[in-house]
Amino acid sequence: MSRLTGKPLLHDPNRNKSTAFTRNERERLGLRGLLPWRVSDMQGQVRRVLGNLRRKPSDIEKYILLSALQERNVRLFYRTLIDNIEELLPLIYTPTVGEACREFASIFRKSQGFYVTPDDRGEVRRILDNWPEDDVRVIVITDGERILGLGDLGANGMGIPIGKLSLYVSCGGIAPEQCLPVMLDTGTGNKALRNDPLYLGWPNERLRGDAYVSLVDEVIGALQDKFPSALIQFEDFSGQNAFRLLARYRHEVRMFNDDIQGTAAMSLAGLHAANRLTGQRLEDQRILFLGAGGAATGIATLIARAMQARGLSASEAHARIWLVDVDGLVTADRDGLDDWLAPFAQPQPACDLTGAIAALQPHALIGATGVAGAFTETSIRAMAAINERPVIFALSNPTANAECTAEQAYRWTEGRALFASGSQFAPVHLDGRTHRPGQANNAHIFPGIGLGVTVSGANRIPDSMFLAAADALAEAVPDASLEAGTLFPPLTRIRQVSAHIAQAVYGVAIDEGLAPPCSRDAIAEAVAGAMYEPDYREDHG
């Protein structure tokens, strides 16, 4: 490949350093006269970015600014993000990414991913050669049917893979050029989108049935052939497709579904952290879910596996986990239960959430409904009446869809709740005490899992990796955070936490025969050595 100089170099986002090119580099690379006189360092550029960002009047404007930065200077984008992760993560991912997906067609500037439609059937492998990078290690794919709590956004859902992969880089240390966002654009059931003249996707009703599955098969096969070392993360598929595709590929493909398995590991870690405060054992607890979709069932399944690993039988574990949906408690006499939900069907009379709390006497209440206010004052107070420290997880995103707010959880439990939410809530001041709710964000878990899988070379991702990741995440919560009621580590430590999780995942890969044996020190060294660090030390001209 020819060496870039002059204007083309300034237009290459992976090599551009803008005003940070040194005098010597400007001379050698044909940049004299193309840049202002002053040579900046990266930290000065970061300060300039933050100053411009903080003047923007809205979060979506800040999102656009950060996207534009990523499009022109990748290293500066990730340096800014890594050094200011607490401030910027809500802008590049939840909750702002929800608005960005709704507005995706309107704010579109430059393509950052790979799109496949039914028009590409039979040619997916050929057109993958158009992607400029060959060493792809992490792929995030969506079909846009269930974006956060916003429903079917079709091709607008590309904002999700882009956002997830920015977290793989900033939180997990995967190199940017090793990331590939994929939109499997199979149409949309959203008629308003199809009729929108600005909509950029395949403007047809969603592909269903065998035609849909065969296209997914072709895409997955093509990705494996082109990028044999890549991990594939499924994101924001509908519940039915999410479970069916996970079952279809998980034993043959290096893949996982973040909504099902990543959310499960993150939630299990939250329960482990809560138990550090309460002194309870997971296998002695009873867990109640409001919601019985992909996220809730995925969490329930991993909790059951964790209980079994601690000595319970499958039936004993399932009896301790109840799910309530729009039709009430999921019971054994209900017709048409999906295979993944059936193990949790209880031999109990049907009842609503309040009745289920009274009957089960749960230690933890977990919401995954997408319905704002689904946890009523009555239900939260009922949890507080039977638990000294009731565990309340309101996991639905974005913030407007949370089952309850942090303030409600603390106020209705007299400050005793151990609360976490899918989007961040501000600290709550109540009765002279400050409660700092933790964000149950999958960013705590999937970057570390992906890093561990890619460094170890494991060719599949068994449940034991998610159990180990949950244990490692819970271990990483500082005692001081727990005392303030925060069940997850601070985002400022997210790269260290991801490395810790990756080492645990690598250890499981060895234990399961998916990676050759090596020492703990060697694992730690391999993980640390693989993590991308954005800087300007190299000459990228």
- pLDDT beyond 60 at 117: yes
In this structure, is residue 268 part of a structural domain? yes
- DSSP characters for 28-61? HTT-TTSS-SPPPPHHHHHHHHHHHHHT-SSHHH
pLDDT at 399: 82
**Could you tell me the CATH number of the domain that includes residue 225?**
3.40.50.10380
pLDDT in tens, 242-289: 999 999 999 999 999 999 999 999 999 999 999 999 999 999 999 999
Q: What does the alpha-carbon distance between residue 356 and residue 463 come to, in Å, rounded to a whole number?
A: 29
Q: Are residues 499 and 434 in the same domain?
A: no
- pLDDT beyond 70 at 541: no
Catalytic residue, candidates 17, 63, 78, 93: 93
Contact partners, residue 376, CB within 8 Å, separation at least 6: 353
Tell me which H or E stretch contains 89: helix 85-92
Q: How confident is the model at residue 537 (pLDDT cuts 50, 70, 90)?
A: confident
Catalytic residue, candidates 164, 199, 226, 410: 164
Strands (E), 370-512: 391-394, 418-421, 428-430, 433-435, 438-439
* Domain boundary pick from 441, 459, 490: 441
Tell me which H or E stretch contains 139: strand 138-142
pLDDT in tens, 385-407: 999 999 999 999 878 889 999 99
> The domain containing residue 219 runs over which residues?
101-253
Q: At what angle do helices 353-360 and 377-386 cross, to 10 degrees?
A: 0
pLDDT at 370: 87
The overall average pLDDT reported for the chain is 95
Q: Are residues 245 and 273 in the same domain?
A: no
In this structure, is residue 95 part of a structural domain? no
- pLDDT beyond 50 at 181: yes
In this structure, is residue 469 part of a structural domain? yes
Q: How confident is the model at residue 1 (pLDDT cuts 50, 70, 90)?
A: very low
pLDDT at 538: 52
pLDDT in tens, 74-108: 999 999 999 999 999 999 998 899 999 999 999 99
- pLDDT beyond 70 at 540: no
**Could you tell me the CATH number of the domain that includes residue 24?**
1.20.1370.30
DSSP state of 66: H
- pLDDT beyond 60 at 493: yes
Longest dimension (CA), the chain: 80
- Domain count for the chain: 4
pLDDT at 443: 95
User: 59-73, 216-230, 333-347: lowest mean pLDDT where?
Assistant: 333-347
- Rounded to two decimals, the pTM is 0.95
Q: Are residues 132 and 74 in the same domain?
A: no
In this structure, is residue 201 part of a structural domain? yes
> Does residue 110 carry a catalytic annotation?
no
Mean pLDDT computed over 212-218: 98
* Domain boundary pick from 253, 286, 301: 253
Q: Are residues 330 and 348 in the same domain?
A: yes
Q: Are residues 105 and 226 in the same domain?
A: yes
Q: What does the alpha-carbon distance between residue 73 and residue 16 come to, in Å, rounded to a whole number?
A: 6
> Does residue 93 carry a catalytic annotation?
yes
In this structure, is residue 540 part of a structural domain? no
pLDDT in tens, 420-466: 999 889 999 999 999 999 999 999 999 999 999 999 999 999 999 99
In this structure, is residue 416 part of a structural domain? yes
Mean pLDDT computed over 119-140: 98
Q: How confident is the model at residue 62 (pLDDT cuts 50, 70, 90)?
A: very high
H helix intervals, 174-259: 191-194, 209-226, 239-249
Sheet holding 364-367, edge to edge: 328-329, 321-325, 287-290, 364-367, 391-394, 418-421, 438-439
Q: Are residues 360 and 234 in the same domain?
A: no
